[in-house]
Chain A
Amino acid sequence: MASITSTRRLPAQAEHHAPARMPFVQQVTMMTWRSLVTNFRVPGVILPPLIISAFFLLIYESTLGGASGFLPGLRGQSYLGFILPLSIVSAALSGAGVAGQSIVRDIENGYFDKLMLTPISRGALLLGPMVAGAVILVLQTTVVIMVALFMGLEPVTGLPGLLTVIGFALLLGTAFAGWTVGIALMSGNAAATQGASFLFFPLSFLTATFVPLDLLSGWIKVAATYNPITYILDAMRTTINIGWNAEIMAGGVAACLIMGLVLFAFAMHGLRVRTRRR
């Protein structure tokens, strides 16, 4: 047939033939940007965590705020400052679902496979949605803090304290994203990924949720003692209501890091399972 010719490529093609590969950092930046753009096109992903945490903040403050005077553990601290970290934890944990949802969307619509056929680094497949999730989380946390300020929050450590709280939200959210991302990669199923986010409930309620840890007793105290969220809450609460405390802060950071390492390893395992050729 006439089409079998010696001109395998036009001269223009050979000239433009693509070089080796896009550098890793650029890949991650590009995939993060792409993830951010698409997430902002589905407000349904971003708004619910925000609404939930603002709602919690309002409800807890208005129903329990009046009782705070009777809570000996609070020692006259602001209940709003005590409950805001819980609201931020809710935002961080539910917001962490964004990364998992992005990945599961790609798997379901086949774009993940399409990317696998390019020279993309597997790390960029994982980090793009996770970094984008973290950026969204910072925005959400900032909005929740602004609501709290509007309700009359007066943090003792001022702006640096609030930035620290945002930093904790970022660490916690990114750590927890490892969980939803791992489930998304392993299941490739939106419902399973959504279901995985429910781990958020035991994590944020089997802890010093409404009253300080000292006031808890029995099994819930045991659960709270082993729940890393307890230490993260404590670090945020202390920073807002009492002041800088290196030891409590270190406890919070350690809790985030331990959770982060375990769950990131889980996500990496999920990535290996998903991208392994069978």
Chain B
Amino acid sequence: MSSGAIVADQLVKRFGSDVTAVNRVSFEVKTGEIFGFLGPNGAGKSTTVAMLTTLVLPSAGHAHVGGFDVVSQAAQVRRIAGVALQEIGLDPLMKSTELLTIQGQLFGMSRKEAQKRAFELLELVKLADVTKRPVGKYSGGMRRRLDLALALVHRPEILFLDEPTTGLDPASRRDVWAEVRRLNREYGMTIFLTTQYLEEADELADRIAIIDKGQIAVEGQPQELKAALGSESINVTFKDGESVELAKHALGDMFEKVQIDRKTLKLYRNGAAEVVPAVVNRLNTQALVPVALTLTQPTLDDVFLQVTGQSFQPDAKTAEVA
């Protein structure tokens, strides 16, 4: 067996006979690593987390967390893994200290120890001054932070965070990022993080896997994946799809790779900046008028576009505003 902190081997999860939520997913997360599991809504991220954290049984394949089998050694997995699910599971009638103390006691601490740990964690997630308020009166960001604290009560070696920043405002999101980095740096905690934000994976993860329609599309270090695209891109946006097609014909021979992303033509090559005047000239001679023209370094969005043939569009983008 491999020595990785988390090893998934050909994991499959079927619901009923026609829905395959996760389809032969394999990856390995090394001890002490932050692993980003990236994909749009419904790609199979949460189902994978549910299997790894013993909540759901795989239909086929195997997985080990901390060396323990998620099917036959579920109790051991629960003891070394901390889990903050996407659906925050908090009783709104209870107070933060009560929730944390119960959690600690269930993991075998004495009441006193559990209370001490509760206050430690409330300091850590900056909720120490709202202990009198029932959790139901917390803001979304506060609830997330408390949920994170609950996942940390038993000092897990491996932490699963399922979309920890979905629905958070940018400031709360940065707080969570800082906390994730700190846990990883100071405690050497292995962190498995799912996200639908490319930026988040880029920012936090040592390595990422992109999952799309239940399958791993690509896996590697963010820099490595971007570098594999090898080139900068010129992005030319038009008013309509027809112009994009015409432009693709007109410019295709100048570039190593061309992709269409809705009304934008993405043109990849090394030293893209040098050919911007030539691009503009050719568009002029074809009477194609762009709405916008930008020059960018490769992003994870480009990686995603390349491996899946479609742009990465998190459905919950509107949730950022909420």
What residues make up the interface of A, taking CB atoms closer than 8 Å to B?
A: 1-10, 13, 16-22, 26-27, 30, 34, 37-38, 41-42, 105-106, 109-120, 277-278
Contacts and interface: CB of A to CB of B under 8 A. Distances in A.
Given A21-B108, A34-B98, A119-B107, A9 B90 contact: no
A112 B206 CA distance: 33
A118 B103 contact: yes
B107 A117 contact: no
B199 interface: no
Contacts of A5: 32, 188
Interface string B67-84: 000000011001100010
Interface of B: 30-34, 53-57, 74-75, 78-79, 83, 85, 87-94, 98, 102-109, 113, 117, 134, 150, 154-155, 157, 181, 184-188, 206
B107 A3 contact: no
B94 A34 contact: yes
A41 B85 contact: no
B85 A113 contact: yes
How would you classify the secondary structure of chain B's contact residues: helix, strand, loop or mixed?
Answer: loop
B111 to A, nearest CB: 9
A42 B93 contact: yes
B93 A38 contact: yes
A13 B30 contact: no
A112 B89 contact: yes
Given A13-B155, A30-B102, A3 B89 contact: no
A16 B32 contact: no
A92 to B, nearest CB: 24
Q: Considering the complex of A and B, which 6 residue pairs feature the smallest CB-CB distances, nearest first?
A: A110-B89, A114-B89, A4-B32, A118-B106, A18-B108, A38-B93
A4 B90 contact: no
Contacts of A115: 106
A4 B93 CA distance: 40
Contacts of B93: 38, 41-42
B90 A114 contact: yes
Contacts of A114: 85, 89-90, 150
A3 B188 contact: yes
B286 to A, nearest CB: 47
Contacts of A30: 102, 105-106
Contacts of B34: 3
Contacts of A37: 94, 98
Given A3-B34, A20-B108, A117-B53, A111 B89 contact: yes
